[in-house]
């Protein structure tokens, strides 16, 4: 199964599980479903995250000459 299809499947599973997060009556949170939802959230890539780059400090020649 291609990577994109796996991500789509995880996203769909997360959406379905979210419907069962609260027991009927809407008060009690189901811990077992919440754990699975959190695990899926951790496994899915964060689209809002900024990719990290390695940064190195360098001095400009003007400042080093002073």
Give the HSE-up count for residue 55: Cα atoms under 13 Å, Cβ half-sphere: 4
Give the pTM: 0.57
Alpha carbon of 21 to those of 5, 7, 14, 42, 46: distances in Å? 24, 21, 10, 17, 22
- Band of residue 26 on the pLDDT scale cut at 50, 70, 90: low
pLDDT digits (tens, 9 = 90+) for 44-59: 887 655 565 665 667 7
Report which secondary-structure segment, H or E, holds 30.
none
Q: What is the CA radius of gyration of the chain?
A: 22
């Amino acid at each position: 199964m291609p990577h994109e299809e796996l991500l789509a499947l995880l996203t769909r599973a997360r959406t379905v599980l979210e419907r069962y997060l609260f027991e009927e009556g809407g008060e009690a949170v189901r811990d077992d479903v919440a754990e699975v939802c959190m695990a899926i959230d951790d496994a899915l890539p964060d689209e809002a995250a900024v990719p990290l780059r390695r940064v190195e400090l360098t001095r400009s020649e003007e400042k080093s000459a002073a």
